[in-house]
Each structure stands twice: as structure tokens, then as C-alpha cells.
Structure 1
């Protein structure tokens, strides 16, 4: 169980920062799609291959994906890799857009050219 003070602080942060809430929701659904791609087209669903197939695993995969997408966007926009919290929040919208576009292209490529396992 989590401490109620910690849970309350997280909820207050997410309510005060809608970009972070949108990012977490998009990251979860992105991770869900990555799990679907991996388990359907890349690996079998044998025991041990579904370790990330839970809420936190999907969230971590989505955050990782959007972090990879954020890196070039941030570098091009701000000409620096010195990350600042407010600049990251300002880049969330374009990161979600480009990440969704790239992930959709990858998903359609797998559905068109790959065989289900």
C-alpha cells in the first residue's frame, strides 16, 4: 500500500500539470500497443514473455518510447541536451503527436508485412 500523503501529492501534481496527465495516459496506451505488437508479431506468449503485460509495464514501455521520441525534438527545438522541466513540458504536445505517428506507421508495417506468432 502507498502512503496516502504520497498518493495525494501525486494526484495534486497531475491535476496542476495537465501535460503530465496527458503524457501518462498516452504513455499507457502506447505501451499497450507495444505489448500487443511484441506478443502478436515478435514473441510467443509463452511463460516469461508477458512480464511487462501489466499496468506498470505498459506505462514504462510508453514512457520509454516517448522519451526516445522526445530526445530529437528537444535537441532540434532548443539546440541543447541540458534538460529543463518546463521545456520538457512545452515539448510534450509535439512529442505525443510524432510518437503517435511513428508508432502508427510501425504498427501498420507489422500488420502488413509480419506474420502472427
Structure 2
């Protein structure tokens, strides 16, 4: 029973940390990142997400894979322009404004916390 409790708590901790990191990263980039407008390019063959092309504040043109899949409630279409925030130190780190995945990250934190508590409860009852 202790092994099951350990695996449950460890899995919950991984989910909790993944969700917390996602929330932290999104907040950091949206609050302190540089703003730009990106051009959505077509989905490359074999990829499931479109490419975003934008110009940084220092004039570099950057192409990155979109952090948002093309099949969400607000799909990205080729030729469309979308507002983004990017990390000025690493312009490949991008958040599409209005399509952040905070809900998913919060769900990971909640599910992870629940699994950690369940694992601890199982360990205490063993």
C-alpha cells in the first residue's frame, strides 16, 4: 500500500509542478515580455501547429511554432495576425495573447494537489 501511496503522491507532485510552471511562465511573459504582432503561417507538413512569424524590438525576424494548436476554440488561420508577448531574452518563448492556457494549467495544479493529498492519506492509513 505504501508503494501505491508513493506513486500516487509522486505523480501528483509532477502534475502540480507542471501546472505551476505553466502558470508562472505565462504570467512572466505576459507581464514582462515584449509585445508584437505575429503573422500566422500555414501548418507545415507533419506538424500540428502553425508557425508564427514576427519582428522583435531589435529588428530580428523570428519564426516559431505556435504554442496554440490550430484546432482550439479560436483557431489560428494562415494569413491572420495575432497579438503575442515574447521573452526579449529568448524570442522563441511566445504566448499568444487571448489564447493562454491558464485553465489547463490550473487544472493540473488542482489535480496534482488532489493526488498528493490522496497519496498522503493512503500512506497514513497503511
Range of TM-score over shorter length:
under 0.3
Greater RCO (CA < 8 Å, at least 6 residues apart): 2
When Rg is computed on C-alpha atoms for both structures, the one with the higher figure is 2
User: TM-score, normalised on structure 2?
Assistant: 0.26
More helix by share: 1
TM-score (norm 1): 0.28
Task: Identify, as 1 or 2, the structure richer in strand.
Answer: 2
